[in-house]
Amino acid sequence: MPKNPEIAIDGRMIGLEHPPYIIAEISGNHLRDKKRARLLFSEAKRAGADAIKIQTYTPDSLAIEIAPEKIDSKPQWKEAWGWNTGDIYNLYKQVYTPQGDFTEYLFSLGKEFDITVFSTPFSVKDAVYLAKEFDPPAYKIGALEYNFFPLLDVIAQTKKPIILNTCVATLQQIITTLEFLHKAKSGPVVLVTGPKIYHEDSAKNFLLGRLDALKETFSHSHVIGLSDHFLRGGYNHTYYQGHEFSVAGILQYNASIIEKHFCGCRSGLPGTPGGDVDGKSSIVTEEMQALIFWAKQAYKKRKGDTISNDAEMELQLIQQKAAYGYGKKMIGPSQAEIDTNEAGALRYIYANKDLRAKRPLQLEDLHFSRAIHHAHPDFHRETALPTLTVSQVIGNVLTRPVEKGDPIWAELLKDPIDLNRPYEPGIFKL
Protein backbone atom coordinates (compact mmCIF):
# COMPACT_ATOMS: atom_id res chain seq x y z
CA MET A 1 0.00 0.00 0.00
CA PRO A 2 1.23 3.54 -0.69
CA LYS A 3 2.71 5.35 2.29
CA ASN A 4 0.79 8.21 3.83
CA PRO A 5 2.25 11.64 2.99
CA GLU A 6 4.77 13.02 5.45
CA ILE A 7 7.13 15.96 5.69
CA ALA A 8 10.04 17.02 7.89
CA ILE A 9 10.36 20.36 9.69
CA ASP A 10 13.71 20.93 11.36
CA GLY A 11 14.34 17.18 11.36
CA ARG A 12 10.99 16.27 12.93
CA MET A 13 8.91 13.91 10.78
CA ILE A 14 5.23 14.83 10.53
CA GLY A 15 2.38 12.69 9.22
CA LEU A 16 -0.10 10.02 10.22
CA GLU A 17 2.64 7.60 11.27
CA HIS A 18 4.17 10.18 13.62
CA PRO A 19 2.97 11.87 16.84
CA PRO A 20 1.05 15.11 16.22
CA TYR A 21 3.18 18.21 15.70
CA ILE A 22 2.08 20.97 18.09
CA ILE A 23 2.86 24.60 17.26
CA ALA A 24 2.53 27.39 19.82
CA GLU A 25 1.49 30.51 17.90
CA ILE A 26 2.55 33.48 20.04
CA SER A 27 1.33 36.19 17.65
CA GLY A 28 1.85 39.55 19.37
CA ASN A 29 1.55 38.10 22.88
CA HIS A 30 5.22 38.91 23.44
CA LEU A 31 4.05 42.54 23.81
CA ARG A 32 7.37 43.55 22.20
CA ASP A 33 9.01 42.92 25.55
CA LYS A 34 12.05 40.62 25.67
CA LYS A 35 11.29 39.38 29.18
CA ARG A 36 7.77 38.52 28.12
CA ALA A 37 9.09 36.79 24.99
CA ARG A 38 11.51 34.72 27.08
CA LEU A 39 8.61 33.69 29.33
CA LEU A 40 6.59 32.54 26.31
CA PHE A 41 9.45 30.43 24.95
CA SER A 42 10.17 28.94 28.37
CA GLU A 43 6.51 28.07 28.95
CA ALA A 44 5.98 26.63 25.45
CA LYS A 45 9.01 24.41 25.98
CA ARG A 46 7.79 23.37 29.43
CA ALA A 47 4.38 22.51 28.01
CA GLY A 48 5.99 20.26 25.39
CA ALA A 49 5.27 22.18 22.18
CA ASP A 50 7.30 21.14 19.13
CA ALA A 51 7.61 24.63 17.66
CA ILE A 52 6.90 28.30 18.21
CA LYS A 53 5.44 30.35 15.40
CA ILE A 54 5.89 34.09 15.27
CA GLN A 55 4.56 36.68 12.84
CA THR A 56 6.71 38.86 10.59
CA TYR A 57 5.14 42.05 9.28
CA THR A 58 5.04 45.80 9.59
CA PRO A 59 1.90 47.93 9.28
CA ASP A 60 2.90 48.57 5.65
CA SER A 61 2.79 44.84 4.96
CA LEU A 62 -0.98 44.83 5.29
CA ALA A 63 -2.32 48.34 4.94
CA ILE A 64 -1.68 51.83 3.65
CA GLU A 65 -1.29 54.73 6.07
CA ILE A 66 -4.23 57.07 5.56
CA ALA A 67 -4.71 60.29 7.52
CA PRO A 68 -7.58 59.85 10.05
CA GLU A 69 -9.48 62.81 8.65
CA LYS A 70 -9.38 61.18 5.21
CA ILE A 71 -10.64 57.88 6.60
CA ASP A 72 -13.66 59.71 7.96
CA SER A 73 -14.22 61.61 4.71
CA LYS A 74 -15.38 58.68 2.56
CA PRO A 75 -17.67 55.79 3.50
CA GLN A 76 -15.62 53.32 1.48
CA TRP A 77 -12.39 54.43 3.19
CA LYS A 78 -14.01 54.16 6.61
CA GLU A 79 -14.89 50.55 5.85
CA ALA A 80 -11.60 49.65 4.18
CA TRP A 81 -9.13 51.44 6.42
CA GLY A 82 -11.20 51.59 9.59
CA TRP A 83 -12.42 48.00 10.10
CA ASN A 84 -14.32 49.24 13.16
CA THR A 85 -10.99 50.18 14.76
CA GLY A 86 -10.88 53.78 13.59
CA ASP A 87 -7.58 53.18 11.81
CA ILE A 88 -6.40 49.66 10.87
CA TYR A 89 -2.88 50.88 10.05
CA ASN A 90 -2.55 52.28 13.55
CA LEU A 91 -3.85 49.02 15.03
CA TYR A 92 -1.15 47.02 13.21
CA LYS A 93 1.37 49.58 14.41
CA GLN A 94 0.50 48.69 18.00
CA VAL A 95 0.66 44.89 17.68
CA TYR A 96 3.25 43.95 15.04
CA THR A 97 6.50 42.11 15.82
CA PRO A 98 9.43 44.51 15.30
CA GLN A 99 12.02 43.34 12.79
CA GLY A 100 15.73 43.66 13.42
CA ASP A 101 16.93 43.25 17.00
CA PHE A 102 13.63 41.93 18.41
CA THR A 103 13.04 39.30 15.73
CA GLU A 104 16.69 38.28 16.01
CA TYR A 105 16.12 37.83 19.73
CA LEU A 106 13.11 35.56 19.12
CA PHE A 107 15.11 33.28 16.83
CA SER A 108 17.95 33.23 19.35
CA LEU A 109 15.49 32.11 22.02
CA GLY A 110 14.62 29.16 19.81
CA LYS A 111 18.24 28.04 19.92
CA GLU A 112 18.51 28.70 23.65
CA PHE A 113 15.42 26.65 24.49
CA ASP A 114 16.02 24.09 21.73
CA ILE A 115 12.63 24.64 20.12
CA THR A 116 11.92 25.16 16.43
CA VAL A 117 10.97 28.69 15.36
CA PHE A 118 9.37 29.76 12.10
CA SER A 119 7.06 32.54 11.02
CA THR A 120 4.12 33.83 9.04
CA PRO A 121 5.29 36.64 6.75
CA PHE A 122 2.66 38.99 5.35
CA SER A 123 4.46 40.65 2.46
CA VAL A 124 7.13 39.92 -0.13
CA LYS A 125 9.55 42.09 1.81
CA ASP A 126 8.84 40.17 5.01
CA ALA A 127 9.46 36.81 3.32
CA VAL A 128 12.75 37.99 1.81
CA TYR A 129 13.83 39.31 5.22
CA LEU A 130 13.11 35.96 6.90
CA ALA A 131 14.82 33.92 4.20
CA LYS A 132 17.98 36.01 4.05
CA GLU A 133 18.41 36.68 7.78
CA PHE A 134 17.17 33.48 9.44
CA ASP A 135 16.54 30.74 6.85
CA PRO A 136 13.63 29.31 8.89
CA PRO A 137 12.77 25.61 8.47
CA ALA A 138 9.19 26.31 7.33
CA TYR A 139 6.74 29.10 6.51
CA LYS A 140 3.11 29.54 7.49
CA ILE A 141 0.65 31.27 5.15
CA GLY A 142 -2.21 33.06 6.89
CA ALA A 143 -5.87 32.41 6.19
CA LEU A 144 -6.28 35.58 4.10
CA GLU A 145 -3.06 35.09 2.12
CA TYR A 146 -3.77 31.69 0.51
CA ASN A 147 -3.97 33.38 -2.90
CA PHE A 148 -1.44 36.18 -2.31
CA PHE A 149 0.68 34.99 -5.20
CA PRO A 150 3.61 37.44 -4.96
CA LEU A 151 4.18 36.23 -1.38
CA LEU A 152 3.78 32.57 -2.39
CA ASP A 153 6.15 33.18 -5.31
CA VAL A 154 9.00 34.22 -2.99
CA ILE A 155 8.35 31.54 -0.36
CA ALA A 156 8.27 28.84 -3.04
CA GLN A 157 11.83 29.79 -3.98
CA THR A 158 13.07 28.84 -0.49
CA LYS A 159 12.00 25.19 -1.11
CA LYS A 160 11.01 24.97 2.56
CA PRO A 161 7.76 23.36 3.78
CA ILE A 162 4.71 25.60 3.56
CA ILE A 163 1.82 25.39 6.01
CA LEU A 164 -1.11 26.82 4.07
CA ASN A 165 -4.24 27.90 5.93
CA THR A 166 -7.15 27.12 3.60
CA CYS A 167 -10.06 27.82 5.93
CA VAL A 168 -11.85 30.44 3.80
CA ALA A 169 -10.69 29.15 0.41
CA THR A 170 -12.96 27.24 -1.94
CA LEU A 171 -11.91 23.89 -3.34
CA GLN A 172 -11.05 25.45 -6.70
CA GLN A 173 -9.03 28.19 -5.02
CA ILE A 174 -7.03 25.61 -3.07
CA ILE A 175 -6.38 23.66 -6.26
CA THR A 176 -5.29 26.83 -8.07
CA THR A 177 -2.82 27.67 -5.30
CA LEU A 178 -1.46 24.12 -5.19
CA GLU A 179 -1.06 24.11 -8.97
CA PHE A 180 0.92 27.34 -8.76
CA LEU A 181 3.16 26.04 -5.97
CA HIS A 182 3.77 22.85 -7.94
CA LYS A 183 4.66 24.88 -11.02
CA ALA A 184 6.96 27.04 -8.90
CA LYS A 185 8.63 23.85 -7.52
CA SER A 186 8.00 24.85 -3.92
CA GLY A 187 8.73 22.74 -0.88
CA PRO A 188 6.05 20.34 0.44
CA VAL A 189 2.70 21.89 1.31
CA VAL A 190 0.71 21.15 4.47
CA LEU A 191 -2.97 22.06 4.31
CA VAL A 192 -4.60 23.29 7.50
CA THR A 193 -8.04 24.63 8.24
CA GLY A 194 -9.91 25.89 11.28
CA PRO A 195 -12.37 28.57 12.35
CA LYS A 196 -12.23 32.17 11.17
CA ILE A 197 -14.87 33.23 13.69
CA TYR A 198 -13.61 34.72 16.95
CA HIS A 199 -16.81 35.65 18.80
CA GLU A 200 -18.94 33.74 21.31
CA ASP A 201 -20.30 31.35 18.68
CA SER A 202 -16.80 30.06 17.90
CA ALA A 203 -17.62 26.55 19.18
CA LYS A 204 -20.59 26.15 16.86
CA ASN A 205 -18.56 27.73 14.06
CA PHE A 206 -15.38 25.69 14.50
CA LEU A 207 -16.38 23.68 11.40
CA LEU A 208 -14.67 20.33 11.89
CA GLY A 209 -16.65 19.27 8.84
CA ARG A 210 -14.23 21.41 6.83
CA LEU A 211 -11.33 19.32 8.15
CA ASP A 212 -13.31 16.17 7.34
CA ALA A 213 -13.74 17.39 3.76
CA LEU A 214 -10.05 18.31 3.58
CA LYS A 215 -9.19 14.80 4.77
CA GLU A 216 -11.42 13.21 2.14
CA THR A 217 -10.04 15.36 -0.68
CA PHE A 218 -6.35 15.85 0.14
CA SER A 219 -5.05 13.54 2.89
CA HIS A 220 -3.81 11.02 0.30
CA SER A 221 -1.44 13.66 -1.09
CA HIS A 222 -0.85 16.20 1.70
CA VAL A 223 -0.31 16.28 5.43
CA ILE A 224 -3.32 18.08 6.92
CA GLY A 225 -4.03 19.79 10.23
CA LEU A 226 -5.76 22.50 12.21
CA SER A 227 -5.07 26.12 13.04
CA ASP A 228 -7.03 26.49 16.28
CA HIS A 229 -7.70 29.67 18.27
CA PHE A 230 -10.67 28.24 20.19
CA LEU A 231 -10.70 29.14 23.89
CA ARG A 232 -12.16 27.31 26.87
CA GLY A 233 -15.59 28.26 28.20
CA GLY A 234 -19.25 27.34 28.32
CA TYR A 235 -20.95 26.57 25.01
CA ASN A 236 -24.21 24.72 24.31
CA HIS A 237 -24.67 24.14 28.07
CA THR A 238 -21.31 22.34 28.13
CA TYR A 239 -17.93 23.39 29.46
CA TYR A 240 -15.04 23.18 26.98
CA GLN A 241 -11.41 23.05 28.10
CA GLY A 242 -10.20 24.40 24.75
CA HIS A 243 -8.49 21.36 23.25
CA GLU A 244 -11.57 19.35 22.24
CA PHE A 245 -11.66 20.26 18.55
CA SER A 246 -7.96 19.73 17.92
CA VAL A 247 -7.96 16.39 19.73
CA ALA A 248 -11.02 15.24 17.78
CA GLY A 249 -9.31 16.38 14.58
CA ILE A 250 -6.36 14.11 15.35
CA LEU A 251 -8.52 11.18 16.37
CA GLN A 252 -11.12 11.28 13.60
CA TYR A 253 -9.95 13.43 10.69
CA ASN A 254 -6.24 12.73 10.08
CA ALA A 255 -4.91 15.98 11.58
CA SER A 256 -1.13 15.69 12.04
CA ILE A 257 -0.37 19.35 12.80
CA ILE A 258 -2.05 21.54 15.40
CA GLU A 259 -1.33 25.27 15.59
CA LYS A 260 -2.70 26.78 18.80
CA HIS A 261 -2.54 30.41 19.91
CA PHE A 262 -0.49 30.58 23.10
CA CYS A 263 0.09 33.26 25.73
CA GLY A 264 1.66 31.30 28.59
CA CYS A 265 -0.32 33.32 31.12
CA ARG A 266 -2.87 36.08 30.71
CA SER A 267 -1.49 38.68 33.10
CA GLY A 268 1.62 39.68 31.17
CA LEU A 269 4.62 40.99 33.10
CA PRO A 270 4.16 43.36 36.02
CA GLY A 271 4.29 46.91 34.73
CA THR A 272 3.74 45.86 31.12
CA PRO A 273 1.14 48.14 29.52
CA GLY A 274 -1.89 46.42 28.08
CA GLY A 275 -2.40 42.67 28.02
CA ASP A 276 -1.90 39.77 25.70
CA VAL A 277 -2.77 40.89 22.17
CA ASP A 278 -4.51 37.59 21.39
CA GLY A 279 -5.34 36.68 24.98
CA LYS A 280 -9.00 36.12 24.10
CA SER A 281 -8.01 33.37 21.68
CA SER A 282 -4.86 32.01 23.35
CA ILE A 283 -4.32 29.22 25.86
CA VAL A 284 -2.03 29.23 28.90
CA THR A 285 0.70 26.73 29.79
CA GLU A 286 -1.50 24.28 31.68
CA GLU A 287 -4.03 24.28 28.83
CA MET A 288 -1.24 23.62 26.32
CA GLN A 289 -0.03 20.72 28.46
CA ALA A 290 -3.54 19.28 28.45
CA LEU A 291 -3.81 19.71 24.68
CA ILE A 292 -0.50 17.92 24.10
CA PHE A 293 -1.38 15.08 26.49
CA TRP A 294 -4.73 14.39 24.86
CA ALA A 295 -3.32 14.88 21.37
CA LYS A 296 -0.87 12.07 22.10
CA GLN A 297 -3.66 9.88 23.51
CA ALA A 298 -5.74 10.51 20.38
CA TYR A 299 -2.76 9.61 18.20
CA LYS A 300 -2.25 6.33 20.08
CA LYS A 301 -5.92 5.43 19.79
CA ARG A 302 -5.99 6.33 16.09
CA LYS A 303 -3.14 3.96 15.31
CA GLY A 304 -4.60 1.18 17.46
CA ASP A 305 -2.35 1.29 20.52
CA THR A 306 -3.74 0.42 23.94
CA ILE A 307 -4.68 3.34 26.19
CA SER A 308 -6.26 3.31 29.65
CA ASN A 309 -10.02 2.92 30.18
CA ASP A 310 -10.12 6.42 31.68
CA ALA A 311 -8.43 7.82 28.57
CA GLU A 312 -10.87 5.94 26.34
CA MET A 313 -13.82 7.47 28.19
CA GLU A 314 -12.32 10.96 28.08
CA LEU A 315 -11.70 10.72 24.33
CA GLN A 316 -15.32 9.67 23.83
CA LEU A 317 -16.42 12.75 25.78
CA ILE A 318 -14.09 14.96 23.75
CA GLN A 319 -15.62 13.60 20.53
CA GLN A 320 -19.12 14.28 21.82
CA LYS A 321 -18.21 17.88 22.66
CA ALA A 322 -16.46 18.41 19.34
CA ALA A 323 -19.53 17.20 17.41
CA TYR A 324 -21.26 20.49 18.32
CA GLY A 325 -18.77 22.31 16.08
CA TYR A 326 -18.84 19.92 13.12
CA GLY A 327 -21.01 22.13 10.89
CA LYS A 328 -21.21 21.07 7.26
CA LYS A 329 -18.84 18.72 5.48
CA MET A 330 -17.64 21.22 2.90
CA ILE A 331 -14.61 23.16 1.73
CA GLY A 332 -15.02 26.91 1.57
CA PRO A 333 -16.10 29.80 3.78
CA SER A 334 -19.16 29.42 5.99
CA GLN A 335 -22.08 31.81 5.75
CA ALA A 336 -21.09 33.22 9.15
CA GLU A 337 -17.58 33.96 7.86
CA ILE A 338 -19.03 35.64 4.79
CA ASP A 339 -21.56 37.67 6.79
CA THR A 340 -18.89 38.96 9.19
CA ASN A 341 -16.43 39.73 6.35
CA GLU A 342 -13.93 37.31 7.93
CA ALA A 343 -13.63 35.68 4.51
CA GLY A 344 -13.65 38.85 2.43
CA ALA A 345 -10.51 40.77 3.32
CA LEU A 346 -8.19 39.06 0.85
CA ARG A 347 -5.32 40.82 -0.93
CA TYR A 348 -6.19 43.19 -3.75
CA ILE A 349 -4.25 45.83 -5.65
CA TYR A 350 -4.37 49.42 -4.37
CA ALA A 351 -2.67 52.69 -5.17
CA ASN A 352 0.39 53.11 -2.97
CA LYS A 353 0.46 56.85 -3.73
CA ASP A 354 -1.51 59.42 -5.71
CA LEU A 355 -1.36 58.28 -9.34
CA ARG A 356 -1.99 60.41 -12.36
CA ALA A 357 -3.62 59.17 -15.54
CA LYS A 358 -1.90 58.15 -18.80
CA ARG A 359 1.29 56.89 -17.15
CA PRO A 360 2.36 53.22 -17.25
CA LEU A 361 2.05 51.73 -13.77
CA GLN A 362 5.18 50.54 -11.99
CA LEU A 363 5.52 48.02 -9.17
CA GLU A 364 6.25 50.78 -6.64
CA ASP A 365 2.87 52.34 -7.49
CA LEU A 366 1.04 49.27 -6.18
CA HIS A 367 0.16 48.02 -2.72
CA PHE A 368 -1.23 44.55 -2.00
CA SER A 369 -3.63 45.39 0.80
CA ARG A 370 -6.09 43.47 2.92
CA ALA A 371 -8.55 46.35 2.76
CA ILE A 372 -12.13 45.72 1.72
CA HIS A 373 -13.39 48.51 -0.56
CA HIS A 374 -14.62 45.79 -2.89
CA ALA A 375 -17.05 44.58 -0.19
CA HIS A 376 -18.79 47.95 0.11
CA PRO A 377 -22.29 47.80 -1.48
CA ASP A 378 -21.70 51.08 -3.31
CA PHE A 379 -18.79 49.53 -5.21
CA HIS A 380 -20.04 46.10 -6.23
CA ARG A 381 -20.26 47.31 -9.81
CA GLU A 382 -16.48 47.74 -9.97
CA THR A 383 -13.97 44.90 -10.45
CA ALA A 384 -11.31 44.59 -7.77
CA LEU A 385 -7.98 43.16 -8.95
CA PRO A 386 -6.53 40.17 -7.07
CA THR A 387 -2.78 39.78 -6.83
CA LEU A 388 -2.62 37.19 -9.61
CA THR A 389 -3.20 40.05 -12.08
CA VAL A 390 -0.09 42.02 -11.07
CA SER A 391 1.79 41.22 -14.28
CA GLN A 392 -1.15 42.59 -16.29
CA VAL A 393 -1.33 45.74 -14.15
CA ILE A 394 2.37 46.62 -14.35
CA GLY A 395 2.87 48.61 -17.55
CA ASN A 396 -0.86 49.16 -17.97
CA VAL A 397 -2.14 52.75 -18.13
CA LEU A 398 -4.71 54.42 -15.91
CA THR A 399 -7.48 56.20 -17.77
CA ARG A 400 -8.05 58.58 -14.85
CA PRO A 401 -6.21 59.52 -11.65
CA VAL A 402 -6.40 57.33 -8.55
CA GLU A 403 -5.94 58.61 -5.03
CA LYS A 404 -3.56 56.91 -2.59
CA GLY A 405 -5.48 54.23 -0.68
CA ASP A 406 -8.09 53.60 -3.36
CA PRO A 407 -8.33 50.35 -5.32
CA ILE A 408 -7.07 50.12 -8.85
CA TRP A 409 -10.23 48.83 -10.47
CA ALA A 410 -10.05 46.86 -13.70
CA GLU A 411 -12.34 49.43 -15.28
CA LEU A 412 -9.71 52.16 -14.71
CA LEU A 413 -7.10 50.48 -16.91
CA LYS A 414 -6.64 50.99 -20.63
CA ASP A 415 -5.90 47.34 -21.44
CA PRO A 416 -8.42 44.70 -20.34
CA ILE A 417 -7.55 42.37 -17.46
CA ASP A 418 -8.04 38.61 -17.70
CA LEU A 419 -8.99 37.44 -14.20
CA ASN A 420 -8.62 33.80 -15.28
CA ARG A 421 -5.01 34.06 -16.42
CA PRO A 422 -2.83 32.10 -13.96
CA TYR A 423 -0.10 33.88 -12.04
CA GLU A 424 3.30 33.09 -13.49
CA PRO A 425 6.09 32.30 -10.99
CA GLY A 426 9.28 34.31 -11.01
CA ILE A 427 7.90 37.85 -11.07
CA PHE A 428 9.22 38.42 -7.55
CA LYS A 429 12.69 37.23 -6.64
CA LEU A 430 14.12 36.01 -3.36
Q: Where exactly does CATH 3.20.20.70 map onto the chain?
A: 6-58+96-325
Residue 9 pLDDT level (bands cut at 50, 70, 90)? very high
Radius of gyration for the alpha carbons in the chain, expressed in angstroms and rounded: 22
The pLDDT assigned to 71 comes to 82
Q: Any idea what the Cα angle at residue 149 is, between residues 189 and 406, rounded to 5°?
A: 145
Maximum mean pLDDT: which of 173-182, 201-210, 231-240: 173-182
- Is residue 293 scored above 50 in pLDDT? yes
109-145 pLDDT, tens digit each: 999 999 999 999 999 999 999 999 999 999 999 999 9
Quick one: 280 exposed, middle or buried, by C-beta within 10 A (0-12, 13-18, 19+)? middle
Do 404 and 64 meet the contact criterion of CB atoms below 8 Å apart?
A: yes
The pLDDT assigned to 94 comes to 84
The pLDDT assigned to 72 comes to 82
Q: How far is CA 199 from CA 136, 203, 204, 336, 339, in A?
A: 33, 9, 10, 11, 13
**Residue 10 in 3-state DSSP?**
coil
The pLDDT assigned to 67 comes to 86
CATH code linked to domain 345-412:
3.90.1210.10
The pLDDT assigned to 271 comes to 39
- Other residues' Cβ atoms within 10 Å of the Cβ of residue 376: 16
Q: Any idea what the Cα angle at residue 38 is, between residues 104 and 194, rounded to 5°?
A: 85
Q: For 143, what's the count of Cα atoms within 13 Å in the CB-facing half-sphere?
A: 21
The pLDDT assigned to 2 comes to 56
Q: Which of 162-171, 257-266, 368-377 has the lowest mean pLDDT?
A: 368-377
Which percentage of the chain shows pLDDT scores above 90?
A: 73
Q: Where exactly does CATH 3.90.1210.10 map onto the chain?
A: 345-412
The pLDDT assigned to 415 comes to 98
Residue 272 pLDDT level (bands cut at 50, 70, 90)? very low
Which candidate, 387, 240, 430, places its Cα nearest to that of 318?
Answer: 240
- Report the distance separating Cα 74 and Cα 314, nearest Å: 54
Mean of the per-residue pLDDT values of the chain = 91
Q: Which of 14-18, 93-97, 306-310 has the lowest mean pLDDT?
A: 93-97
- Report the distance separating Cα 301 and Cα 314, nearest Å: 12
Q: Does domain 6-58+96-325 have CATH number 3.30.43.10?
A: no
- Report the distance separating Cα 71 and Cα 74, nearest Å: 6
Do 247 and 293 meet the contact criterion of CB atoms below 8 Å apart?
A: no
Do 229 and 198 meet the contact criterion of CB atoms below 8 Å apart?
A: yes
Taking the model in full, what pTM does it have?
A: 0.94
Which candidate, 378, 367, 364, 389, places its Cα nearest to that of 66?
Answer: 367
The pLDDT assigned to 343 comes to 82
Q: Which of 58-62, 248-252, 340-344 has the lowest mean pLDDT?
A: 340-344
Residue 371 pLDDT level (bands cut at 50, 70, 90)? confident
Per DSSP, 114 falls in state: T
Encoded amino acid at 90, one letter:
N
Helix H or strand E segment including 207: none
> 385-421: b or e for each residue (b if 16 or more CB lie within 10 Å)?
bbbbbbebbeebebeeebebbbbbbbebbeeebeeee
